[in-house]
Amino acid sequence: MRRLPIYFLIDVSESMVGTPIGQVQEGMRAIIQQLRVDPYALETVFVSIIVFAGKAKVLSPLTELYKFYPPVFPVGGGTSLGAGLEALMRDIDASVQKTTLETKGDWKPIIFLFTDGNPNDSYQAAFKRWNEKYRRHCSLIAVSLGDNVNTRILSQITEDILLLKQTDAESFSKFFKWVTASIKTTSVSVCEQNADTIKLAPTTGINLEKIDPNQHAGTTDENFVVLHGRCQTTRNEYLVKYAKHSEPLKGLEMFSATDFKLVGAYPIDREAYAALSDGKGVKINTLELVGVPTCPCCGNQHGVVACDCGGIFCVGEQSSNECPWCGMRGELSNCGPEGMNIARGLG
Ligand SMILES: [Zn+2]
Ligand SMILES: [Zn+2]
């Protein structure tokens, strides 16, 4: 039997925390559910999920549909698209059956790449290897989740670049239906017509747009700031996400005032996070942050308190506090500007 390998190469960097990662998780479940009741897909489709943040990981190896269970998605720090692509190429080498003189191998693998940001690793070597050895033998569909991706970078590895403009629940759900429909039509065409090319479903009625990277470069500045906190009470870890908000200054149209508005705070699995992170921290001036969440682990009132060591932790009613990162103890009330800084919004 010739299999149709479908790879999902998914960005799970910190900015995906919250709604986007929840939607991707939900979307993957819906895709598998719908493909399982499709006779053509059931016959040919094999699915694999590879995630990347600072590092890459094969979450689900290439598996036939009826045995496939959508995994739980972790998040990590960093966006190493190069590492993600390397993991994909390694897996294609190991799992996809090549066509030889004697036997017909698998159908051309289809890769759906979902990303919401720009790579921060040196991806050039991986891109070069991809273009030389794999690109002709695969169909790679790159999808920018939101308008924060420099699509010129993606255009170095594929011609098929799509932009999902809105990233609310409804847009995501329509988008995943489109992915499902595209996989279904492709599996019909390989079964019935022996045609080894991807057939994308029409995008009418979806917030999905094919991008010409020469016309569209995306907004290349980062739209999110994500802080990595540790709960003082439980020692569990969490992420606090802020969205960038710029407003032109009156009379100074060249300039704009920028601040970061709170999106939410989310507990994370410390080990999964560490395994996927590149360890490159980002320093942020907490004065630009608007709004402070309660701690998502213990409910303490102040979820963003910064220690001198750079660590973020939670603080409640108690007057004496210990930084769960470095162990420094301090009285919040008598901390000068050199001591513990509380983010703006606490007054
Ligand atoms: Zn806490
Ligand atoms: Zn500390």
pLDDT in tens, 266-275: 999 999 999 9
What's the pLDDT score for residue 176?
A: 93
Q: Which ligand is nearest to the CA of 329?
A: 2
Confidence of residue 310 (pLDDT cuts 50, 70, 90): confident
Average pLDDT, rounded, for the chain: 87
Domain boundary among 186, 210, 234: 210
Say if residue 19 is in the same domain as residue 117: yes
Q: What is the mean pLDDT of residues 197-218?
A: 82
Residue 270 belongs to some domain of the structure: yes
What's the pLDDT score for residue 64?
A: 95
Residue 217 belongs to some domain of the structure: no
What's the pLDDT score for residue 334?
A: 40
Residue 107 belongs to some domain of the structure: yes
Residue 215 belongs to some domain of the structure: no
Q: Which ligand is nearest to the CA of 323?
A: 2
Say if residue 47 is in the same domain as residue 153: yes
Say if residue 140 is in the same domain as residue 198: yes
CA of 315 to the centre of ligand 2 (A): 13
Domain extent at residue 10 = 4-210
Residue 216 belongs to some domain of the structure: no
Say if residue 89 is in the same domain as residue 56: yes
Domain boundary among 164, 184, 210: 210
Residue 136 belongs to some domain of the structure: yes
Long-range contacts of 254-258 (CB under 8 A, 24+ apart): 258/288
Say if residue 70 is in the same domain as residue 93: yes
Question: 3-state DSSP: the chain helix, strand, coil percent, rounded to 5?
Answer: 30, 30, 40
Confidence of residue 94 (pLDDT cuts 50, 70, 90): very high
Say if residue 174 is in the same domain as residue 266: no
- pLDDT single digits (tens) 166-183: 888 889 999 999 999 999
Torsion-angle region of 15 (φ positive above 0: left; ψ -120 to 50: alpha; else: beta): alpha
Q: Which ligand is nearest to the CA of 295?
A: 1
What's the pLDDT score for residue 102?
A: 85
CA of 105 to the centre of ligand 2 (A): 56
What's the pLDDT score for residue 219?
A: 56
The whole-model pTM stands at 0.87
Residues with CB under 5 A from ligand 1 (ion): 231, 233, 295, 297-298, 300, 314
Say if residue 178 is in the same domain as residue 230: no
**Residues in contact with 64: Cβ distance below 8 Å, sequence separation at least 6, in sequence order:** 3, 45, 46
Say if residue 196 is in the same domain as residue 237: no
Q: Which ligand is nearest to the CA of 340?
A: 2
Above 80 in pLDDT, residue 131?
Answer: yes
Residue 274 belongs to some domain of the structure: yes
CATH of residue 164's domain is: 3.40.50.410
What's the pLDDT score for residue 180?
A: 94
CA of 312 to the centre of ligand 2 (A): 8
CA of 336 to the centre of ligand 2 (A): 15
CA of 59 to the centre of ligand 1 (A): 29
Distance of CA 168 to the CA centre of its chain: 15
Say if residue 198 is in the same domain as residue 247: no
CA of 227 to the centre of ligand 2 (A): 14
**Domain total in the chain:** 2
CA of 289 to the centre of ligand 2 (A): 20
Say if residue 127 is in the same domain as residue 26: yes
What's the pLDDT score for residue 150?
A: 84
